[in-house]
């Protein structure tokens, strides 16, 4: 089975409210498994695109929000088997996802796509409880630590 590397970038988008810090998560149907999940906004990096540009673009496309990068949060790696598609061959995909801490700046001038069915602003504990993937829960916890120490 052929192995291909895929790089993605995304954001842990936050806002400060009277009740504390809230994080933006979205509900979607997974394109591979058809399972409903809750996740952070992220996506592929286009050829020649910087990780930061890709992360900001993906946040805007998936959430309809503009954001400002404050810090690099880290990355995680995982693999899966994918069927062939138009844009890429099938086989084992080794995926690297780089996340950035982002402050919400409000609505994006462009409409969002339909990848995420519903968006939610949640406190850190609720976001971690709702997120489907442990690696994304870890990014929320890392963001919370950075924001509390600032």
pLDDT at 16: 97
Q: What is the CB neighbour count within 10 angstroms for residue 8?
A: 18
**Please, are residues 6 and 95 in contact by the beta-carbon 8 Å criterion?**
yes
C-alpha dihedral (119, 32, 4, 11), degrees to nearest 10: 10
Mean of per-residue pLDDT scores for the chain: 91
pLDDT at 114: 76
Query: Is the full-model pTM beyond 0.75?
Result: yes
**DSSP run (H or E) holding 90:** none
21 contact partners, CB below 8 Å, separation of at least 6:
14, 15, 123, 124, 144, 147
Mean pLDDT (whole number) for 129-137 = 96
Mean pLDDT (whole number) for 93-117 = 88
Q: Where are the domains of the chain?
A: 3-149
Q: Find the length of the chain.
A: 150
Identify the CATH homologous superfamily for domain 3-149. Nucleoside Triphosphate Pyrophosphohydrolase (3.90.79.10)
Tens digits of residue pLDDT in 45-82: 999 999 999 999 999 999 999 999 999 999 999 998 87
């Amino acid at each position: 089975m052929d192995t291909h590397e895929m790089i993605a970038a995304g954001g842990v988008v936050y806002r400060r409210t009277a009740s504390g810090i809230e994080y933006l998560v979205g509900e979607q149907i997974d394109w591979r498994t058809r399972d409903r999940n809750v996740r952070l906004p992220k996506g592929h990096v286009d050829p020649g695109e910087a990780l930061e540009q890709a992360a900001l673009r993906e946040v805007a496309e998936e959430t309809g929000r503009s954001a400002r990068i404050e810090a690099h949060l880290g990355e995680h790696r995982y693999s899966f088997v994918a069927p062939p598609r138009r844009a890429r061959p099938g086989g084992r995909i080794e995926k690297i996802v780089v996340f950035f801490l982002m402050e919400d700046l409000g609505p994006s001038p462009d409409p969002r796509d339909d990848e995420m069915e519903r968006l939610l602003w949640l406190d850190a504990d609720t976001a971690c409880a709702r997120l489907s993937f442990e690696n994304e829960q870890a990014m929320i916890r890392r963001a919370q630590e950075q924001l509390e120490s600032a």
